Structure 1
Amino acid sequence: MDPVTPPQSPAHNGTLTSPPPSPPAGGRGECGSAGSAALSCTSPRPSRRTSHVAFADLPPDPDDPLLGFAPYLHKAPRRNSITPDRQRAFIACLAATGIVTQAARRIGASLEALYRLRHQPGAEQFSAAWEQAIDRGIARLEDCALERAIEGEERFHVRDGQVLARWIKYDTALLRFLLQQRRTARWNAELAAYAALKPGHPVYDRLRTEWAGEDQQSHQEVLDSIDRMIDDMRNRSLANTPLIESWDEEDEDEDADGADGAEEA
Structure 2
Amino acid sequence: MSPRSAYRLLDAPGGDGFALAWDQAIDEGIERMRADALERALGGAFVPVFRRGKIVRVEHRRCDRLAIALLAGKDRSVDDYRRNAVSRRKYRQDMAALDAEREARRLAAEAVWAQHQVILDRIEADRLARRPALEPRVRRL
**What TM bracket, shorter-length normalisation?**
0.3 to 0.5
By percentage of residues, which structure has more helix?
A: 2
Please tell me whether Structure 1 or Structure 2 has the larger radius of gyration of its CA atoms: 1
Calculate the TM-score normalised by the size of structure 2.
0.42
